[in-house]
Amino acid sequence: MKEKKVGIKELLGLDKPINENIKPNVKNESDPFEIIKVSVFDIVPNPNNRYNVNDILDLKDSIELFGGVQQNLILKPIEGTKKYEAIAGHRRRLACIALVEEGKEKYEFVPATLKTNFESIKERILLIHTNSTARVLSDWEKTEQLKELKILFAEYKKEHNLPGRIQELLAETLNISKTQVGRYERIDSNLTEEYKEEFKKGDINFSTAAELATLSVADQKAVYQDHKEKGTTKLKDVQKAKRKPDELVIENSQITINAAKKIKGNLEQRLSIAEHDRKNETGEKTENTEYIRLLNLCIKTVDKEVFAVMGANMFQE
């Protein structure tokens, strides 16, 4: 029988029903999943949390508007103390501390899901998952999240059965498509260090970084030389670097071709006038006849030159 695939919520226990009756601040060691009310001053930040937690003004206003925190923090007890370490909810903690410091003491106690006997790897996965869904992250931060998650899932799989593809778990954890997972992986694996630094600073966007990562190291370094001169790299710059020599010849010849079309149009207009005038002339050979012959020769010459550049007669419909 085929094993059922495990989603991130099942893996982290987030699919389990939660008891809505919040328990007092006393933990039950036999219950690995319970809800309690905790003072924000008894919560310490997780040392693995590398995310910016300073942008709390809007969150503080939202908490005050709704009369309290609407989503449980996720905590784990710190052994030998009465303190708790945050797994998820760092910004909510800071927002409530700020409210209390403004004299609004009712926001001191927050609802929290208490995780006891929670594996360290799961804790780190949960930290990444909550940050990927609760805030807007830069594409560089998502790339770093993916890199860390791949290591964590590989470690977890050594000790546990994990049905399904890792790529599907990565996509679900980061709330992105499997296609996007592939593009982030390519950026992490193939992008040169110079361009990774530009990506980190936000000087190149995700699409440009993903396209650059399809180039060889030598080609990326060649494009980077232009980047240092112009101060930027656009998607079109990368696409141009990927084109075949024949495609570049076509592009570089386009101005010549357009000029040739104008010349030919002018010649054909003169030819039409000359042929009209010839109808009114007599004799086997006239000045207009010779003029017409020369015009036709010029037109054929233009066609021939364009054919030599393009490999096809661009003037034929």
CATH number of the domain at 116, please: 3.90.1530.10
pLDDT at 33: 56
Does residue 155 fall inside a structural domain?
no
Mean pLDDT estimate for the chain: 77
Q: Given a cut of 50, is residue 304 above it in pLDDT?
A: yes
pLDDT tier at 312, thresholds 50, 70, 90:
very low
Give 63's DSSP letter: H
Highest mean pLDDT among 20-29, 77-86, 252-261: 77-86
The answer to whether position 67 is within a domain reads: yes
Q: Which one is predicted more confidently, 8 or 116? A: 116
Residues 63 and 102 in one domain: yes
In the chain, the number of structural domains is 3
Please check whether residue 160 lies inside any domain of the structure. no
- Shared-domain flag, residues 120 and 186: no
Integer Cα distance of 207 and 202 in angstroms: 12
Cβ-defined contacts of 5-11 (< 8 Å, 24+): 5/163, 5/164, 5/168, 6/162, 6/163, 6/164, 6/169, 7/169, 7/172, 8/125, 8/129, 8/169, 8/172, 8/173, 11/122, 11/125, 11/162, 11/169
Looking at residue 71, its pLDDT comes to 85
Expressed as residue numbers, the domain containing 221 is 166-242
How far apart (Å, rounded) are the C-alpha atoms in residues 155 and 166? 12
pLDDT at residue number 192: 93
| Residue 43: per-residue pLDDT | 94
Per-residue pLDDT reduced to its tens digit, 215-236: 989 889 989 998 988 888 998 8
Q: Is the pLDDT of residue 160 over 90?
A: no
The pLDDT of residue 5 is: 60
pLDDT digits 0-9 by tens, 83-134: 999 888 888 999 999 999 999 999 999 999 887 766 777 878 888 887 777 6
Cβ count within 10 A of residue 203: 14
The residue among 19 and 193 whose pLDDT is bigger is 193
At residue 31 the predicted structure's pLDDT band, cuts being 50, 70 and 90, is very low
Q: Is the dihedral of CA 122, 124, 127, 129 positive or negative?
A: negative
pLDDT average, residue stretch 70-86 = 89
pLDDT value, residue 91: 87
Instruction: Compare 36 and 34 and report the one with higher pLDDT.
Output: 36
Rounded Cα distance, 164 and 183, in Å? 20
Instruction: Report the CATH number at residue 227.
Output: 1.10.10.2830
| Statement to judge: residues 199 and 268 lie in one domain | no
Residues 51 and 96 in one domain: yes
pLDDT band at 137 (very low <50, low <70, confident <90, very high): confident
Q: How confident is the model at residue 313 (pLDDT cuts 50, 70, 90)?
A: very low
Task: Answer yes or no: do 238 and 253 share one domain.
Answer: no
Are both 36 and 131 inside the same structural domain?
yes
Q: Among the three residues 203, 227, 242, which one is the final residue of a domain in this structure?
A: 242
- Burial-class residue 206 by CB neighbours within 10 Å (0-12, 13-18, 19+): middle
Range from 45-49, 108-112, 193-197, 307-311 carrying the lowest mean pLDDT: 307-311
Residues 173 and 129 in one domain: no
Residues 131 and 13 reside in one and the same domain: yes
Whether 205 is covered by a domain: the verdict is: yes
Quote the pLDDT of residue 101. Answer: 94
The predicted model gives 232-244 an average pLDDT of 82
Over pLDDT 70: what percentage of the chain?
71
Residues 216 and 281 in one domain: no
- What does the alpha-carbon distance between residue 304 and residue 259 come to, in Å, rounded to a whole number? 14
304 falls within a domain: yes
Tell me, what's the pLDDT at 22? 43
Q: Which two tokens stand for residue 106?
A: 């009712």
Rounded to whole angstroms, the Cα distance separating 149 from 51 reads: 15
By three-state DSSP, how is residue 73 classified? strand
Is residue 153 assigned to a domain?
no
Amino acid 8: pLDDT: 64
Three-state DSSP state, 89: coil
Highest mean pLDDT among 21-25, 195-199, 263-267: 195-199
Domain boundary among 183, 218, 242: 242
Look at residue 248 and tell me whether its pLDDT is greater than 60: no
Token pair of 156 as six digits = 């977890």
Contacts by residues 224-230 (CB-CB < 8 Å, ≥ 24 positions apart): 224/192, 224/194, 224/195, 227/198
Same domain, 214 and 303: no
Averaged pLDDT for residues 155-175: 80
2 found inside a domain: no
Query: Same domain for 277 and 194?
Result: no
Q: Quick check: is 122 in a domain?
A: yes
Q: Are residues 221 and 254 in the same domain?
A: no
Domain boundary among 195, 224, 242: 242
Confidence bin at 27 (pLDDT 50/70/90)? very low
